[in-house]
Amino acid sequence: MKILYYNKLKKEEREKLFKRSAIKTDDVYEYILPLLKDIKKNGMKAVVKYARKFDNIKNENLLISKSELKRSSELLDRKTKIAIDTAIKNITRFHELQYPTGYKIETMPGVECSRTFIPIEKIGLYIPGGSAVLFSTLLMLAVPARIAGCQKIIVASPVGDKIEPALAYAAYKLKVGEFYNVGGAQAVGMLAFVHKVAKIFGPGNQFVTAAKSIVSIDPDGCAIDMPAGPSEVLVIADKYAKASFIAADLLSQAEHGADSQVFLITNSDQLARNVSREINTQLKNLPRNEIAQRALKHSKIVVVSKIETAFEISNDYAPEHLILNLKNVSRFKRLVKNAGSVFIGAYSPESAGDYASGTNHSLPTYGYAKSYGGVTVESFMKSVTFQKLSRRGLTNLAPTIITMAEKENLQAHANAIKIRLKK
């Protein structure tokens, strides 16, 4: 990785230092719009057509039966089953505390207002396939959906000729409603226009991301969890950090994809050099080293004069994952303003949150951590407000409502109050 010295950079160089690559949406949108229109018009027939073309699916029936899920899950080794069970337990324990409680208040005599949380009835989960089957993502999405009380969970994932046993075990264990062997934009189209889910969750490539964006503004489409871009990690470390730990953390993110971004910001020149060497050493033993190498080409190690500067840069960048490998981390934790998920201390690798610590790994990327949080139980619910006014309550509130309505020239609003008081 290239080492840069922040204080030696010009202002314009600093501004470009952590700039994300623009996502080329025009070509992608032009490519998938006809596909989504076809699915919207012709339904499952069109989904099957594109699944055959892009996912190499030969079977016209894309639905994977519950018996098939069970058979495949039984092929999974005991060690992995125990690991998945432990992850589900931890994710459940953490997310159960997120269940929102409603409230009720009398804002003035006779005026009662309340707020209630209701689960979204039907949701769609997209689980990436391809070179890495991310069965952990199913845990991160299905567990909070179950806690929220969603009635129907429909999963789409391009599993190929046969479903991977770990993914099958997770699906069977979490009792998903329906599981379809389809990926890409066609999966998003199927969830939105065929199954008509109310909201779609899950990460994906540029085609999945673009499709989610399109269906979110289509009048016949549905909501989505959050905007998404390539995965990313930023590590802030001092001279006390172990170079091998940091290199491993950076590479764990780099192996996700060639467009992933990984950064180290440190106030130690020696650590920067040690990490750079350690990356080259560890990279040789990674099965996905070619993917990681491509990601490292646009990733950087930045040396700053003081750690506080690192937090200023990080808050402006708003990373998906932020690792604080600092000796006196409690002193700096308060400086974190924008981040998807934060990993504190030398023994808190990003991998822990990705799989089994209990927090969710479905997080905002591409700088959206400035305004979005990660997936929670509330993500699978919506809040509804209620109000109940007695005659006394309406009488008490009437002067305020009538004055405001007439000030806005909305006489019908005012009349809705006056007519009740006349009677």
Report if residue 372 sits inside a domain.
Answer: no
Concerning whether 320 is annotated as a catalytic residue, the answer is yes
Paired tokens of 93: 């324990």
DSSP, collapsed to helix, strand or coil, labels residue 368 as helix
Rounded distance between C-alpha atoms, residue 174 and residue 143, angstroms: 7
DSSP, collapsed to helix, strand or coil, labels residue 357 as coil
Residues 209 and 281 in one domain: no
Which amino acid does the sequence have at 201?
Answer: F
Report if residue 385 sits inside a domain.
Answer: no
Annotated catalytic residue: which of 321, 350, 378, 413? 321
Check residue 250 and give its pLDDT.
98
Report if residue 196 sits inside a domain.
Answer: yes
Residues 133 and 252 in one domain: no
Q: What's the distance, CA 63 to chain centroid?
A: 25
The phi and psi torsions of 173 (rounded to 5 degrees) equal: -65, -40
Rounded distance between C-alpha atoms, residue 225 and residue 295, angstroms: 26
* Cβ partners under 8 Å of residue 201, min gap 6: 123, 124, 125, 126, 141, 145, 224, 225, 362, 375, 379
Residues 314 and 167 in one domain: no
Task: State which residues form the domain around 125.
Answer: 25-226
DSSP, collapsed to helix, strand or coil, labels residue 23 as coil
Residues 218 and 173 in one domain: yes
Report if residue 292 sits inside a domain.
Answer: yes
Q: Order the strands of the 381-389 sheet from edge to edge.
A: 103-108, 111-119, 381-389
Report if residue 145 sits inside a domain.
Answer: yes
Q: Which among 202, 226, 250 is the end of a domain?
A: 226
Residues 106 and 193 in one domain: yes
Check residue 25 and give its pLDDT.
72
Check residue 169 and give its pLDDT.
98
Q: What is the largest CA-CA distance in the chain?
A: 84
Four-point Cα dihedral 266, 267, 270, 276, nearest 10: 20
Domain count, the chain: 3
Residues 79 and 189 in one domain: yes
Residues 274 and 163 in one domain: no
DSSP, collapsed to helix, strand or coil, labels residue 303 as strand
Residues 140 and 262 in one domain: no
pLDDT tens, residue order, the chain (423 aa)? 999 999 999 999 999 999 887 766 778 899 999 999 999 999 999 999 999 999 988 888 999 999 999 999 999 999 999 999 999 999 999 999 999 999 999 999 999 999 999 999 999 999 998 767 899 999 999 999 999 999 999 999 999 888 999 999 999 999 999 999 999 999 999 999 999 999 999 999 889 999 999 999 999 999 999 988 889 999 999 999 999 999 999 999 999 989 999 999 999 999 999 999 999 999 999 999 999 999 999 999 999 999 999 999 999 999 999 999 999 999 999 999 999 999 999 999 999 999 999 999 999 999 999 999 999 999 999 999 999 999 999 999 999 999 999 999 999 999 999 999 997
Residues 14 and 44 in one domain: no
Residues 217 and 204 in one domain: yes
Report if residue 95 sits inside a domain.
Answer: yes
Report if residue 172 sits inside a domain.
Answer: yes
Q: Which among 179, 194, 226 is the end of a domain?
A: 226
- The answer to whether the Cα torsion of 292, 295, 298, 304 is positive or negative is negative
* Cβ partners under 8 Å of residue 251, min gap 6: 262, 279, 282, 283, 286, 292
Residues 326 and 234 in one domain: yes
CATH of the domain at 182: 3.40.50.1980
Report if residue 376 sits inside a domain.
Answer: no
Residues 208 and 314 in one domain: no
Annotated catalytic residue: which of 232, 255, 278, 320? 320
Q: Which among 203, 226, 249 is the end of a domain?
A: 226
